[in-house]
Amino acid sequence: MHLVVFSTKPYDREFFTRANNNPAVTPTPHTITFHSFPLTQSTASLAHEADAVCAFVNDALPGSVLRALRGLPQEVRAILLRCAGYNNVDLATAKNLSLSVANVPAYSPEAVAEFAVALVQTLNRKTHRAYNRVREGNFELSGLMGQTLYGKTVGVVGTGRIGLAFARVMARGFGCKVVATDPFPAEERLKEAVGPDGGNYVELDELLRVSDVVSLHCPLTDDTKHIINGETLAKLKKGAVLVNTSRGGLVNTQSVIAALKSKHLGGLALDVYEGEGELFYQDHSAEIIQDDDLMRLMTFPNVLVSGHQGFFTEEALTEIAECTLRNFDELLNDKPCKNALVRQGQLARRDSLPVRI
Ligand code: NAI
Write a three-state SS string for 136-150.
CCCCCCCCCCCCCCC
pLDDT of 9 > 70? The answer is yes
pLDDT of 181 > 90? The answer is yes
Instruction: Give the pocket of ligand 1 (CB within 6 Å).
Output: 84-85, 106, 109, 112, 157-163, 181-184, 217-219, 223-224, 245-247, 271-272, 308, 310-311, 354-355
Q: Best mutation site among 203, 246, 339 for ligand 1, i.e. most ligand atoms within 8 A of its Cβ? A: 246
Is 13 among the catalytic positions? no
Query: Does the pTM exceed 0.75?
Result: yes
Antiparallel, parallel or unpaired: β 153-157 and 200-201: unpaired
50 Cα: distance to centroid of ligand 1 (angstroms): 31
pLDDT score for 196: 80
pLDDT score for 197: 76
Which residue's CA lies nearest to atom 37 of ligand 1?
Answer: 246
pLDDT of 354 > 70? The answer is no
Sign, CA dihedral 240-270-313-102, equals positive
Task: Please list, residue by residue across 123-137, b when 16 or more beta carbons sit within 10 angstroms of its beta carbon and e when fewer do.
Answer: bbbbeeebeebeeee
Q: Which atom of ligand 1 is nearest to the CA of 221?
A: 15
Whole-number average pLDDT of the chain:
95
137 Cα: distance to centroid of ligand 1 (angstroms): 42
Measured CA to CA, the distance from residue 86 to residue 329 in angstroms comes to 20
Q: Which atom of ligand 1 is nearest to the CA of 311?
A: 40
pLDDT of 355 > 60? The answer is no
Q: Using one digit for the tens of pLDDT, what is the confidence trace for 223-258?
A: 999 999 999 999 999 999 999 999 999 999 999 999
Instruction: Spot the catalytic one: 110, 189, 274, 276.
Output: 276
73 Cα: distance to centroid of ligand 1 (angstroms): 37
Mean pLDDT along residues 121-128: 97
Mean pLDDT along residues 197-209: 94
Q: Which atom of ligand 1 is nearest to the CA of 157?
A: 20
161 Cα: distance to centroid of ligand 1 (angstroms): 7
pLDDT score for 215: 99
**Phi, psi dihedral angles at 155 (to 5 degrees):** -100, 125
Q: Which atom of ligand 1 is nearest to the CA of 115?
A: 41
Is 247 among the catalytic positions? yes
Q: pLDDT tier at 352 (50, 70, 90 boundaries)? A: very low
pLDDT score for 357: 22
The CA–CA distances, whole Å, from 229 to 157, 232, 282 equal: 14, 5, 28
Which residue's CA lies nearest to atom 4 of ligand 1?
Answer: 160
Measured CA to CA, the distance from residue 129 to residue 123 in angstroms comes to 9
Q: Best mutation site among 81, 112, 178 for ligand 1, i.e. most ligand atoms within 8 A of its Cβ? A: 112
Three-state SS string over the chain comes to CEEEECCCCHHHHHHHHHHHCCCCCCCCCCEEEECCCCCCCCCHHHHCCCCEEEECCCCCECHHHHHHHHCCCCCCCEEEECCCCCCCECHHHHHHCCCEEECCCCCCHHHHHHHHHHHHHHHHHCHHHHHHHHHCCCCCCCCCCCCCCCCCEEEEECCCHHHHHHHHHHHHHCCCEEEEECCCCCHHHHHHHHCCCCCEECCHHHHHHHCCEEEECCCCCCCCCCCECHHHHHHCCCCCEEEECCCHHHECHHHHHHHHHCCCCCEEEECCCCCHHHCCCCCCCCCCCCCHHHHHHHCCCCEEECCCCCCCCHHHHHHHHHHHHHHHHHHHCCCCCCCEEEECCEECHHHHCCCCC
315 Cα: distance to centroid of ligand 1 (angstroms): 20
Instruction: Spot the catalytic one: 247, 326, 343, 350.
Output: 247
pLDDT score for 349: 60
Provide, rounded to the nearest whole percent, the portion of the chain with pLDDT above 90.
Answer: 92
pLDDT score for 170: 98
**Phi, psi dihedral angles at 291 (to 5 degrees):** -85, 95
User: Up-side HSE of residue 43: CA atoms within 13 Å toward CB?
Assistant: 17
Which residue's CA lies nearest to atom 35 of ligand 1?
Answer: 246
**Phi, psi dihedral angles at 216 (to 5 degrees):** -95, 125
141 Cα: distance to centroid of ligand 1 (angstroms): 37
Q: Using one digit for the tens of pLDDT, what is the confidence trace for 293-307?
A: 999 999 999 999 999
Domains parsed from the chain with CATH numbers:
2-107+313-352 (3.40.50.720), 109-305 (3.40.50.720)
pLDDT score for 348: 83
